[in-house]
Every structure is written in C-alpha cells, then in structure tokens.
Amino acid sequence: MRVVPLIGAALLKSLCAMADDVPAPSSPVPTFTLANNITIPLVGLGSASGVGYLHVNSAINAGYRFIDTAQSASWGYKEAEVGSAVADAKMRYEDWKNGDSNEYVFVQTKIHPQDLGYEATKTAIQLSLERLHVTSLDSVLLHKPRCWEGVCTKEPEGTWEDSWKALEEAYDDGLIRSIGICDVDSRLLDQLLAKRIKPTIIQNWFDPFNQDKQLRERIASINKQQDEKGTVEGKILYQGYSTMGTQWKMRGYDTSPVFDNYILKNIAKKYGVSIPQILINWATRQGVMVLPASTDASHQEANLNSFGFVLTDDEIEDINSLDGHPRGKRKLRTFNNGNEEGIEKHGDPNKVQVHFLNHVPNSPVTVYWVDGSNPDNHLPMGEMKEYREQVNLESFHGHEFVFKDNNGKLLHKVSVDRGEGKRQYFEITDKTYTPTSTVAPHLVATLCPLEGPSPAGTNEFRRLFCFPNLTLFLHLSRITLPHPTMVA
C-alpha cells in the first residue's frame, strides 16, 4: 500500500526539519485508501480563492499532503504556482519515488468544462503535466459534466463521456493515477459505474445546509460492499467542496449562513475552536474529504488541527438537522431576459409565490429545485406525502423545479414565469401528456396564476435563487383553484 503520510513519527521528524516553530497536527487526521491503494488524508488544501505559491508553501510546512487545484484561472485557481511550490519543496510523487523525499504531496487538478471532448481532454492533460512539473498526475477530475453560458468561452468539442475515455486511456498509460468528476447526481453515478474504469473520486458541493445525503449514502453502500469483500478496488472517495458555505454567497446570500448559525456557534464555543474546525471534524467523521481554501497560514494550521475533540452523537445529529435549512439575508435581485442584474431595493418584481399541490393518488411526491449551475443537481425543497398536500415556496422568475416519486424517479419538470402572475399554483397530476409523437407517460403540472393577497399564515416561505431555463416538454392548462387555507 502506498501512503501519502500526514501523521506519525516520520511526519513529526520532517516537520521539525522544515520549521521548528510549526506545530504538528494535535491529533491524527483521518485517512482514506483509494481504489488504487494509495492512502490520503481527509483534509486537503483547496485553492479556488487565489491560493498561490507562498500559500502552498506555508501549507506544506504546516503538514498538508493533499492540494486541490484546477486549470480554470477564472475560478481563482493558480495551477502553475501550485506546481512550482510543490516542485521546489521536492514533494512531488516522482521526488518520493526517486528517493529524494520521504513523502509527497498528492496534487489533484481539474479539467475545465470547455475542454470536454476526447482530443481536448488529451491536450488538457498535457497542459497540467507541464504546469505541475511532473511526468504523471496524482488525480484528474472533470470540473463539470457540461458547459453553460457564462462559464465557457467556447463550445466544447465533445461530452464528458468523450473526456472520460481520454482519462481512462491516460490511466492505462500511467499518466494519471486517479480519475473522477465533480457535480455528480444519482443518474450520472449510474453512468459512471457502467464505465470500464470507475471513478476513484467524486467531488460535490457539501456543507451543513446542502449535505447531498442521497448520493453519499449510495457511495457509502458501495464502499461497505468492497470492505466486506476485503478490497479497496471499486471504492469511491466523496470529496466536498465549499464546505464552509461559500456556495450560498454565489446563490444570493450576503454572507455564508454557516458562520451565523447558532448551533454551530454554540458547539464551537463549547470546545473552544472555530466553526471551520467543527465542520472539518463533522464532515470527516462521516467519511467526507474536505478542501478548505485559505491564504492565511494560521487558518491553514487550525484547519489541520481539527481533531483534538470528539463531537457527541447529539451534536452530530444537530448539525445533520441543518440540511436544507439555510438562514440569512439574501440580496434582492432583478432579471433582464433571464440574466441576473444584482440590485438592492425593497420588493422584487420577479418574485413569485408558488404552490405545488399533490394530485397523485397514493403516491408521495418530493419537490426539488434545479441548480442552474449544475442542472443535474436537484435540491429537495419539500415533500407532499398525502393527496392534496401542498408545498409553498417563495420563488423567482426563471426558477425550475422537478418532481420525483419515492423511488427517485423523475416525474416532471416545471419552470416559473413571472408573466403568469405573482401567485401561481402547480397541480401535480398523473395525467399523460403526449406531444406530436408518442412518449412515455409523464406527470403533468397544470398552472393557474392567481393575483391577490397572501393567504393567512403564508408570509414565511423557503428562499430560493434564480437560474436559467431548460428546454422542457410541459403541458400547461389554466385552472381555477381556491385560495389555500393551510401551508404544508
């Protein structure tokens, strides 16, 4: 077994040699053995926030042995500087393999979605080899499974599947030791598991308010099966990005709701540590690798020293209960032809009160919001367990929702159009809609706009954020529904 060590006598000796005044991690950092039999720490340094040469150098001196970078400079990555810092520290994989170092820093990079496609991915791999000053790469992920407007400056030549074939061949040739992809949902995971070479690593958005439980449970089940077989082959590492809540700022919040949460504040106060240390401890306890980015040496050291306390089962459950319930101030926004023009003012002309009613007999229906930055990422907003039960939300023009049954089967999609009124009702039925050609049965969402004052008790709605529309097959018919008198 090859190990990227993070603790133990060898590390302590190495750290003392590098800098006498840098404290070693106070308690062992949890590790994970990848499907390729390489063991890595579950705490790495993220670098999407302008982390450069000096910051990587300080992280290596603090004891970090995993660094996550990417090719996308527009997202704040400095891949070449990461490569230079690791090379100058003589902590590359080849330095260790050649006997020039007792250990090495595992460096993971990611290919920009505009380079999806077989040949484009081959070229991108060569670019990372050059930037990182290596002859082989520790890990390469596809940064996104697709492109969308505003992210890519050019149309990709192919799909993520074309890129995956290129990654498989690079793996076969020894150019890459681990392959994976970001922003994976259950459907994409099914496709990945059918590939000749399965993903070693999957990286998804993960924080206390977006815990991605369904996918993590699937991965945990796969890993448990492999453990029972006594093998690491086929195991998948789940990495979380934006664990400190930074994604919420991109979705309209003034600040990360993570740092304003009273549960997290109270737990941190009890142990005399920071909220990031609580989150790192909590996440790794559940087998999630975290990649907090920091350009501050003291914060880097603190993040690595997040294991000098043990969260109780009740505290773990308290944090788990935050899933899906971010709180905080969201900037009011307006939209011009579907494009956000962030403005600060009272009242938003694009706001819509939406009411989803379950009209599917004997079938619970769950409402999911579609993440515009990753349309395959569906976040649960509420469940209608009974016939005629409702889920009421504060939405905005351009929002999209999907509806799924208990088995996770996609039933239908709807899109919110402010032009249909500031209060809208979507009745989810089991009618079959057939467009110009025969298609499989769909649940049909019927829309009835209704202007007027909010019903009693409906002034509190779960907040969402606006993203671009998708192409949909949707049968809309206007119906008249009574004002609801209860809120689900």
pLDDT at residue 163 greater than cutoff 90: yes
Q: What tens digit of pLDDT does each residue of 45-63 get?
A: 999 888 999 999 999 999 9
Tokens matching residue 408? 């996770």
Range of the domain at 433: 335-463
CB-count burial class (<10 Å; 0-12, 13-18, 19+) for 295: middle
Q: Write down the pTM of the prediction.
A: 0.67
- pLDDT of 329 reads 55
Q: Domain check: are 285 and 357 in the same one?
A: no
How does the average pLDDT of the chain come out, rounded? 80
* Same domain (yes/no): 359, 289: no
Q: pLDDT tens digit string along 430-488?
A: 543 233 333 233 333 433 333 333 333 333 222 232 233 332 223 333 222 223 222 22
Confidence of residue 387 (pLDDT cuts 50, 70, 90): confident
What is the rounded CA–CA span in Å between residue 29 and residue 308? 10
367 touches 384 (CB < 8 A): yes
- Ranking 21-35, 177-191, 244-258, 267-281 by mean pLDDT, the lowest is 21-35
pLDDT at residue 425 in the model: 79
| Total residues belonging to the chain | 488
Name the pLDDT band for 361 (thresholds 50, 70, 90): confident
pLDDT at 76 over 80: yes
Q: What is the pLDDT of residue 384?
A: 83
Do 104 and 216 fall within a single domain?
yes
107 and 71 part of one domain: yes
Partnered with residue 427 across adjacent β-strands are 357, 446
Count of helices and strands (H, E) across the chain: 13, 22
- Work out the pLDDT band at 6, boundaries 50, 70, 90: very low
On whether residue 476 sits in a domain, the answer given is no
Distance CA 347, CA 349 (A): 6
The pLDDT of 302-323, averaged and rounded, is: 95
- Count of domains in the chain? 2
Same domain, 61 and 111: yes
Domain CATH number, residue 374: 2.60.40
Higher pLDDT, 158 or 340: 158
Residues 383 and 279 in one domain: no
Shared-domain flag, residues 27 and 154: yes
List pLDDT tens digits, range 133-162.
Answer: 999 999 999 999 998 767 788 899 999 999
Q: Among residues 269, 289, 320, which one ends one of the domains?
A: 320
What's the confidence (pLDDT) of residue 374?
67
Identify whether residues 264 and 413 lie together within a single domain.
Answer: no
Q: What tokens were used for 122?
A: 């081959």
Same domain, 386 and 290: no
Beta carbons within 10 angstroms of residue 10's beta carbon = 12
- Do 384 and 305 fall within a single domain? no
Q: How far apart are CA 405 and CA 410, in angstroms?
A: 7
Domain with residue 156: its CATH number is: 3.20.20.100
Can you tell me the mean pLDDT for 173-189? 96
Q: Is residue 482 part of a domain?
A: no
